[in-house]
Amino acid sequence: MIFTDIDINIDTSQLYGTQKKFVKMLNNAKITVDVRGNEETKQSEVVFRGKYTYVSFSKDFNLPIYLDENKHVGYLKLDDLLENFGMFIGTNSRNLESVKDKYLEFPLEERNHLSSQKTAELKRTLLKSIRNIANDFPQDKFKEGNLTDKEKQQGTAQKVTLSLNDKDSKGTLIKIAEDIGKAIDKPFSDSDLNNMKEDLKDITFKKMNFTTKIDDKGILKNLTTDLLVNIDNQSDIGFKFSTTFHSTNGNVQFKHKPKADQIITEEQLQSLLLEDNQQELEDVLNSL
């Protein structure tokens, strides 16, 4: 299982109105992505959860998605989607009642979808790529950190941070992109890599830190990536991803696998919402 906490920090000094309110919501949001999968059965589950505040309205959210690669379909829990984000997509309470405990079925496009095997391979490739890149840097790029009592209780034996400047950050991204492209059988051409390098010229990496936490057996328990970039000399944008790895020893239990009577298609959903909107209009007219 993989758990990733995401922090976003975008400079809002040059934003106004609704755009500024939305970005402030992102900055203050607490977001965690839980991923669990079974490579043998080709099934996986992704849950987005956390809390956001928009102006004076606060909401805890939980949005599960179940993926079945054998059937080439995914399932999105609809009532959670509408309850948590309905204010942004224009839904009403009648819509929520109509899709209670229902999952929307959607196709998994093979050309765009990473299988659980590929996802596992991608994770291994990413970690290996970062490890190989780290070996190329001098020791003064690394700093061993003091462990907190909590980290010690969690089994961390060593914490090391690799800090990169703008030039090293860009070189690292190009190398990781090359390695990942090969891992998913979609290698970047020389032209692609040159275009990527050109695009990176408009970006200044003010900070790129990788912090690893390792247990006493040398197993990676956590990887935190801390980025601060500036694009076209405008607003600073910060991202922090803290990913914790847990071994399930093959025992993966899914909490959001839908039953047959809980699944609806996109056409069925559109029909339900249309009926709801017509009924709501009739209710309004009858009340006049």
User: Tens digit of pLDDT for each residue in 132-167?
Assistant: 877 888 888 899 999 999 999 989 999 999 999 999
Report yes or no on 208 lying in a domain: yes
Residue 84 to residue 51: CA distance in whole angstroms: 10
Q: Strand, coil or helix: what is 39?
A: coil
Does residue 264 fall inside a structural domain? Answer: no
Cα separation of 118 and 39, whole Å? 9
pTM for the structure as a whole: 0.77
Report the number of distinct structural domains present in the chain.
1
Residue 285 has pLDDT above 70, yes or no: no
- Residue 280 maps to a domain: no
Would you say residue 93 lies in a domain?
no
Sequence-distant (≥ 6) Cβ neighbours of residue 254 within 8 angstroms: 36, 43, 45, 66
pLDDT > 70 in the chain, percent: 85
Residue 182 included in any domain: yes
pLDDT at position 111: 44
- What is the domain range of residue 37? 2-72+108-257
- Contact predicate 102/148, CB 8 Å: no
The confidence band for 287, taking pLDDT boundaries of 50, 70 and 90, is low
The reply to whether 274 falls in a domain is no
Average confidence (pLDDT) over 205-213: 93
- Which of 92-106, 174-188, 212-226, 241-255 is modeled with the greatest confidence? 212-226
In a domain, 53, yes or no: yes
Is there a domain that residue 39 lies in? yes
